[in-house]
Structure 1
Amino acid sequence: MAKKSLAEKMAANSQALLQTLKPNTINSFSSTETIKKNIVILDELRDLIPPLLESEYLALKDNLIKHGCKDPLKIWRTSKHAIGKIEEPDEEIYVLIDGHNRYKLCTELGISFNIQIDNFESLKDVRDFMIDFQLSRRNITPQQASYLRGLRYNSEKKELADNLKGSPLDKDILPNGQNVHLAENTKKTTAQELGEYFNVDEKTIRRDAEFAKGLEKLAPTFRKEILNGKVKVEKSKIQKLGKATDITHPITSVDGLLLAYNQLITPEQANESAIPEKSRLELQYENLNKHLLKACKTKKMDKANIQKLKEAFEEFLNTITSM
């Protein structure tokens, strides 16, 4: 069977998002209750869910108490072999892929919930689906979206590298990460295809990839604090960490992050980062103002200019909030 191209897999994911509105019901009540009592949570999937602020978590708890759990939790019906378990590999298991916060609260509070069964071929397909599903929601922050897009790109790049390893096309995995596809007629890079799919430019996808790599070098709790805005760290510093190859232990604090970052930068870069915050802020304000003026004078801006305006605005806001 021919391997699906990235475009085909993304189209399938889009279709899967639509299918989530159509519940896959289980006929037997006893079977449903058995599944609900044996739901498996995988850390790597749970960590794909953008963390809730404390206020959001409390609001969800209050809503569940008052109205119950109306939306079904999404479950992946699979085998232990599919998730890398070697003991009893053919045994069927039920993995939670959406509704982790609701599941935790419903379990603690004794609130009943329904389930929806979804079928996927592999753990990677589940990860891709979850990333796309989270990005389709409106309540995620720009940093959370950047992290998820970066994870998706890094996953596709790794799969392509694994497929090409040792083949004549191995040389087509370029040093700067601009990989090509196996399909002969495909001229677009993975970054270009994902950029079109997520409606951003390919440079944004590559920056997202470095951001995701940097965040993966942080301890899970610290990473969540950055993603939900509780801890403020300049995005460029995290992206720099993404290029580091000698970080062997998860970074657990801002001090640890800054220490690792300072070991990576050159003396010239250190001097540049020593510019007073006010001067850097003024430069960012001028950059933002330039893009705003351009937007005011242009009746219809293209996607690239709109993205530049968004990035300038985000950079300006991040500097203000971290001062």
Structure 2
Amino acid sequence: MDNRTIDFNGTSEEAKKRKQIARTLAGLDTNMTLDILPELDLLIPRPSQEEVELLEESILAEGLREPISIWKHNSKQIIVDGHNRYAILKRHNLPLEVNILHFQDIEEVKDWMINTQLGRRNLTDEKRAYLIGMKYEREKKQQGRKKKLDEEKRKDFPLLEGNTSNISAKTIANQVNQSDRTIRNYASFYRGVNLLSTEMQSDLLEGNIKISKGHLKKISQHAGQIKQPIQDLEELSKTVERFTLKSAPMPKPKASRALLEKDMIAKAEQVFAQSEHLTVEERAQLLDSLSQWAQSQKEQL
């Protein structure tokens, strides 16, 4: 396997042409080392052991079918797609083939990675929920920054029209074929997961542990009070319990017997007053019914 590099700068047609040319040229076999950023690595689904073995067999038998995508930034060559392929190639000391993708900053990298991962089939339900929640939160934040910049511009140019488009749960819902309520739940799930330790996040998103979405929603509602990442399930349970007790409504003070009797008599008088249109016999029957009800309640004591 030869080492090849494909630079994807320019239009899609130019990139496609360069890709075709580059794949026909054999480069030098160099020991290229790529960089992995933990905050980007979290966006990549972890394959099962069986999937790793099948991928490894395929690479050893047929070579690399799809190059590893990287972002060159500050003298680093950061992997944005192909973490698992890279691990296999390094393990067997095989040369690399990479695509160089161009991004303005790491935020644009994350947007690209989120959309790329959401197009894949091997995502756990937790990972998909996390990515969709992240997508919604990120686009909301970007929309807020853009709105603020537009407002600053209009101070100097009052006639400048602002962009009135807003990112809403419904917007993302249409993109991923879900309800807007589900998108808001995913956003709450995403915020809750971010309050966990890195190890817990990885275990949860890969399906190795289960955590109630209600628990994640509860801690996300009190994110400002959580100063350190939650380390394990026991700590999570205690944290949820603390916030649940804290937010529980205070029980109403018990009314005295005298007040209860007074209130009951007042309601009975009100009912009897509304029965003025009844005949004397009917009113007598009503009083008898009230008396029977009172007696039955007394017998239950």
Scaled by the length of structure 1, the TM-score of the pair is 0.61
Q: Aligned ranges for residues 277-292 of structure 1 at < 5 Å?
A: none
Q: Does 1:204 align with 2:199?
A: no
Instruction: State the secondary structure of the residue aligned to 2:224.
Output: coil
Instruction: State the secondary structure of the residue aligned to 2:99.
Output: strand
1:129–1:165: structure 2 CA closer, same or farther, 3 Å change rule?
Answer: same
Q: Is the 8 A contact 1:23 1:117 kept in 2?
A: no
**1:183, distance to aligned residue in structure 2 (A):** 4.9
Q: Which residue of 1 aligns with 2:37?
A: 42
Q: Aligned ranges for residues 100-179 of structure 1 at < 5 Å?
A: 100-165=83-148
**Residue type of the alignment partner of 1:203:** R
Q: Aligned ranges for residues 177-256 of structure 1 at < 5 Å?
A: 183-186=162-165, 188-243=166-221, 244-256=223-235
**1:49, distance to aligned residue in structure 2 (A):** 0.5
State which of 52, 55, 60 in structure 1 corresponds to 2:55: 60
| 1:193-219 CA distance string (max 9 Å, x none) | 222111212222211111111111111
Q: Is the 8 A contact 1:151 1:209 kept in 2?
A: yes
Instruction: State the secondary structure of the residue aligned to 1:116.
Output: strand
Instruction: State the secondary structure of the residue aligned to 1:124.
Output: helix
Q: Which residue of 2 aligns with 1:301?
A: none
Aligned residues: 226
Unaligned ranges ≥5, structure 2: 1-10, 153-160, 250-301
Q: Is the 8 A contact 1:131 1:148 kept in 2?
A: yes
Q: Is the 8 A contact 1:75 1:118 kept in 2?
A: yes
Find the structure with the greater CA-based Rg: 2
| 1:277-296 CA distance string (max 9 Å, x none) | xxxxxxxxxxxxxxxxxxxx
Q: Which residue of 2 aligns with 1:257?
A: 236
Q: Is the 8 A contact 1:68 1:112 kept in 2?
A: no
State which of 46, 52, 77 in structure 2 corresponds to 1:94: 77
1:148 and 1:22 map into 2 onto residues whose CA distance is 32
**Residue type of the alignment partner of 1:143:** E
1:129 and 1:53 map into 2 onto residues whose CA distance is 24
Q: Name the Cα RMSD after superposition.
A: 3.2
**1:53, distance to aligned residue in structure 2 (A):** 2.9
Q: Identity of counterpart residues, as a percentage?
A: 26
1:70–1:262: structure 2 CA closer, same or farther, 3 Å change rule?
Answer: same
Instruction: State the secondary structure of the residue aligned to 1:76.
Output: strand
1:144–1:192: structure 2 CA closer, same or farther, 3 Å change rule?
Answer: same
Q: Aligned ranges for residues 289-308 of structure 1 at < 5 Å?
A: none
